[in-house]
Amino acid sequence: MTDLLTTIPGIIITVGGILTVAVVGGLYVVGLWKQKKDGADDRLINLLKETVGELEKKVDNQKREHDDEVVKLNKKIDDLTSKVGELEKENQTLVEVLQGRDKSTLDFQRQMLEAMRVGMETNGLAKDTANKLQSLIDLMATHIKAVEALQTKQ
């Protein structure tokens, strides 16, 4: 083996062999490292896919909850809007009643005015009748005095 290293072709073959073993060994190490790296990358990709899947589920659940809450709130808004409408109508009725502008109060006021008019007409007729009766009583008293005066003369 010592003769092989003394010749140039022997040296070239030896150096070439050493380089070949080093390159093959290096490539083997790089292959192992790349394989580990590819495995790590695959695990990372799978982990990220799982994470994305879970996050998508959470987003879907939150969207569903949000949509449910929006439906509930819209129903509450509709109910409250309806109640506000009813209260406004009731308030308007109360305002009209308190101001005396509701239909029943106005009807009552018309009836009272008519009753007052009839009462005043009746009072006027009663006064006129009382005056005529007084005139009749005065006339009858004068007539009675005249009849008595005639009777006493006879």
Q: Cα–Cα distance between 61 and 55 in angstroms, integer? A: 10
Considering only the C-alpha atoms of the chain, give the largest distance between any 2 of them, rounded to a whole number of Å: 209
Mean pLDDT, all residues of the chain: 84
Confidence bin at 1 (pLDDT 50/70/90): very low
Is pLDDT larger for residue 13 or for residue 78?
Answer: 78
* DSSP symbol at 7: S
What pLDDT is stored for residue 93 in this prediction? 87
* DSSP symbol at 101: -
Q: Cα–Cα distance between 139 and 146 in angstroms, integer? A: 10
- Sequence spans of domains, the chain: 103-154
Q: Cα–Cα distance between 82 and 69 in angstroms, integer? A: 20
Sign of the Cα torsion 7, 13, 17, 20 reads: positive
**DSSP letters for 57-98:** HHHHHHHHHHHHHHHHHHHHHHHHHHHHHHHHHHHHHHHHHH
Q: Model's pTM, two decimal places?
A: 0.43
Most confident of 19-23, 29-33, 77-81, 96-100: 77-81
Q: Cα–Cα distance between 141 and 40 in angstroms, integer? A: 141
Judged by average pLDDT, the poorest of 4-8, 108-112, 125-129 is 4-8
Q: Cα–Cα distance between 77 and 69 in angstroms, integer? A: 12
**DSSP letters for 22-59:** HHHHHHHHHHHHHHHHHHHHHHHHHHHHHHHHHHHHHH
- Residue 52 predicted with pLDDT over 50: yes
| 3-class secondary structure, 17 | helix
Confidence bin at 18 (pLDDT 50/70/90): confident
